[in-house]
Structure 1
């Protein structure tokens, strides 16, 4: 199977070839044809499967086939949950449309809105956006969605997790009823199917991999350790292994900052990325991690999706997530595009329940290792760590439009009257 056989234009094939791609991934092979036929699509694909090209390529093909107006209204809207994912999707749109007469833009909170508004005012065909900034600019009369022909909801499950349901509904009401809809999600949960039923019209359902499965190329291991010894153990593993590029996940913003400080004092260059960091700081940290000047990137779950780091060799769960599906998304940052990767989890006694739930979800028992001198505390309680937002509240969180970890000043304006909740786990 080749990209040409999927029915894409020669101009797009030229851009694909320039990027060095020759064969479509399974999700691209399954999603591109029905999108080109103008059908609504509901697609399930894990991160690292090439899903972004699965909707951007046919979208660009469709737009390039129709005549341009003198003033360019927004004809395609791609909605993403996080700034990082928005930036990555936009980068892909730019690359694939290099030889097309199409204009695109990306908007998200955390940065000055004036340049974004100015770009839109000049006329664009494709807009990539996060919900908060999109609604802000729309409320100010700086953009219109009345001419949207294609709507893409990317990482739909993450959208629900982060409380964007009401915003999605508001965006949908702003668009024409007659349009093509594409929805991409890592899982087909009941909430996702319910959301899809309200948006999609007789959709073609495609699936690249079984739900909630972990990539075969990822080597997974658990280190049982006393809670107070986790920091020393992770520093030992990174130092003695001479690991150069490590993505570490913590549950809280404070925990990420604290771990970064400890690593820096031990001679390991580290940077944190989470919701309290400015967009500039987040961009700088990610750039440093990619170019090798930052050895360890410590992140909260906001970074579990949308980070495009080629050939990332190591992911470490400094703390296990209390939502099992997040484990799959976290470790999915490694083992991408056929490369091998390693995912390690430091598990203390109070995370025993989380580990059991994760193993049940992925249907496998994870191998356990104990490092001498870092043994687990035999007297520690196995009661789960207390979180402001636990597993039992997931459905409530899905329907609650209070912001998740991607909150910016512009996001907050659209949500000022909604009840606040503890979102520390997601930051």
Structure 2
């Protein structure tokens, strides 16, 4: 009998005929098989993808917790797109509600748009998706079986009658702890808005649930298992007794300061421009509040105009947010000043340096913010600016962040890699 590993590798075959996968699924649609290799340059799944795709492609619920940049988007999208591409095309009727068979939810508009972009990479012109705002005219020809959006926008469109979930077969929820579990890592009850969302999703039956995140507290894991008792839990192995959620290739530096915090930030970024490896990539500065981000952006626009700093926070108009994310992603800008709207899930391939101007003390938020760099096996640097009076490496306030342990390394079998060996150790 073929091994599981061999079966999953068949996902990435260049063959145009459906890939025979007796242990995974009778067929993987050839459009997806070809796109994985030819467009995404992925020749084989990593360990987490292997473990999660087996039950997911068989239609089972899965709950996946693995490091940032480990390929969880594919775990969600491949089963959804296979369903859509393997089914007869569903045509949108002008003026009537959308009736998707598959749905992908993300906590922010930016992340929803990123997922839609990946879906288009995988499925090409074979499928039309509606993402982000879901507003406006959907008088279109073609398959509209996949909707990618945020929970808030979905509930709004359901209340307006613009979307109907009567045909829904499968749902993927990325950053599921943020979407369903509330703000505190110790919450043992889902907030009312999450229960309203689940009620809407289950209105016409029990769709398959594909749930992913980079970190789960014990309380959140228990909450999700209680709500989805049939879901198969897939967690990345750890290098120690700690839950393994930090990326192994991430380097951390904690800079303590007693004088001007803004001056310290400018010095840190100036030093980065003199580092051959860091200056070849881009940098992200995280601030906890929109007003702080506005001020820091103005500071850095004056101090480092050559980096063309851009700003991203949730108080900006959608067009401004999209413009900033696009400029940073295509390297028009090499410095992004942002708030939590960019912390979860967003992938910026050139990002090598994350600076926490405001250090996130919650483990989940810390892990997600740090995880914007050192993705897909590449290296990255995290710099935290810490007031000298807040403690030291052995103090209590930040001790839990210093002691976070990396996950067991994943193998990313790709046809090409960037050269990222030049980062300096602490």
| Alignment-derived partner of residue 136 in structure 2 | 114
Partner Cα separation in structure 1 for residue 125 and residue 54 of structure 2: 21
| Alignment-derived partner of residue 399 in structure 2 | 356
Deviates more, 1:27-36 or 1:3-12: 3-12
Deviates more, 1:289-298 or 1:313-322: 289-298
Task: Report whether the alignment pairs 1:16 with 2:42.
Answer: no
Partner Cα separation in structure 1 for residue 182 and residue 230 of structure 2: 25
Deviates more, 1:8-17 or 1:200-209: 200-209
| Alignment-derived partner of residue 27 in structure 1 | 48
| Alignment-derived partner of residue 319 in structure 2 | 280
Question: Is the 8 Å Cα contact of residues 218 and 342 (structure 1) preserved in structure 2?
Answer: yes
TM-score normalized by structure 2? 0.77
Question: Is the 8 Å Cα contact of residues 108 and 129 (structure 1) preserved in structure 2?
Answer: yes
Partner Cα separation in structure 2 for residue 66 and residue 118 of structure 1: 21
Question: Is the 8 Å Cα contact of residues 86 and 108 (structure 1) preserved in structure 2?
Answer: no
| Alignment-derived partner of residue 297 in structure 1 | 336
Deviates more, 1:303-312 or 1:350-359: 350-359
- The C-alpha deviation readout for 1:167-201, integer Å capped at 9, x for no partner, is 33223222322321111122232443344245425
- The C-alpha deviation readout for 1:245-290, integer Å capped at 9, x for no partner, is 1111112111111111111121333222111111111111122222
Report the 3-state secondary structure (helix = DSSP H, G, I; strand = E; otherwise coil) of the residue aligned with 2:124: coil
Relative to structure 1, the CA distance from residue 351 to residue 85 in structure 2 (aligned partners, 3 Å threshold; closer, same or farther) is farther
- The C-alpha deviation readout for 1:50-93, integer Å capped at 9, x for no partner, is 10011211221133223345558310111111111111111111
Partner Cα separation in structure 2 for residue 363 and residue 17 of structure 1: 29
Structure 1 residue runs without a partner (length 5+): 370-427
Task: Report whether the alignment pairs 1:90 with 2:116.
Answer: yes
* Deviation for aligned residue 1:138: 0.8
| Alignment-derived partner of residue 192 in structure 1 | 220
* Deviation for aligned residue 1:292: 2.6
Relative to structure 1, the CA distance from residue 252 to residue 134 in structure 2 (aligned partners, 3 Å threshold; closer, same or farther) is same
Partner Cα separation in structure 2 for residue 16 and residue 289 of structure 1: 25
More helix as a share of residues: 1
Residue number among 278, 292, 296 corresponding to 1:255 in the alignment? 292
* Deviation for aligned residue 1:209: 4.4
* Deviation for aligned residue 1:216: 1.5
Say what the alpha-carbon RMSD is for the aligned residues.
Answer: 2.7
Task: Report whether the alignment pairs 1:167 with 2:187.
Answer: no
* Deviation for aligned residue 1:307: 1.4
Partner Cα separation in structure 1 for residue 303 and residue 58 of structure 2: 56
Partner Cα separation in structure 2 for residue 368 and residue 33 of structure 1: 38
* Deviation for aligned residue 1:357: 2.9
Task: Report whether the alignment pairs 1:241 with 2:241.
Answer: no
Question: Where does 1:36-185 land on structure 2 (aligned, <5 Å)?
Answer: 36-69=57-90, 73-98=99-124, 100=126, 102-108=127-133, 113-115=135-137, 117-118=138-139, 124-159=144-179, 160-161=181-182, 165-174=191-200, 175=202, 176-185=204-213
| Alignment-derived partner of residue 341 in structure 1 | 380
Task: Report whether the alignment pairs 1:218 with 2:261.
Answer: no
| Alignment-derived partner of residue 262 in structure 2 | 231
Question: Is the 8 Å Cα contact of residues 107 and 128 (structure 1) preserved in structure 2?
Answer: yes
Question: Is the 8 Å Cα contact of residues 282 and 350 (structure 2) preserved in structure 1?
Answer: no
Partner Cα separation in structure 1 for residue 286 and residue 244 of structure 2: 19
Question: Is the 8 Å Cα contact of residues 102 and 147 (structure 2) preserved in structure 1?
Answer: yes
* Deviation for aligned residue 1:11: 2.2
Relative to structure 1, the CA distance from residue 88 to residue 252 in structure 2 (aligned partners, 3 Å threshold; closer, same or farther) is same
* Deviation for aligned residue 1:349: 3.1
Question: Is the 8 Å Cα contact of residues 90 and 145 (structure 2) preserved in structure 1?
Answer: no
Question: Is the 8 Å Cα contact of residues 289 and 296 (structure 1) preserved in structure 2?
Answer: yes
Partner Cα separation in structure 1 for residue 334 and residue 90 of structure 2: 48
Question: Is the 8 Å Cα contact of residues 29 and 86 (structure 2) preserved in structure 1?
Answer: no
Relative to structure 1, the CA distance from residue 325 to residue 303 in structure 2 (aligned partners, 3 Å threshold; closer, same or farther) is same
Relative to structure 1, the CA distance from residue 123 to residue 198 in structure 2 (aligned partners, 3 Å threshold; closer, same or farther) is farther
Relative to structure 1, the CA distance from residue 239 to residue 149 in structure 2 (aligned partners, 3 Å threshold; closer, same or farther) is same
Relative to structure 1, the CA distance from residue 69 to residue 263 in structure 2 (aligned partners, 3 Å threshold; closer, same or farther) is closer
Partner Cα separation in structure 2 for residue 309 and residue 74 of structure 1: 29
Question: Is the 8 Å Cα contact of residues 79 and 129 (structure 1) preserved in structure 2?
Answer: yes
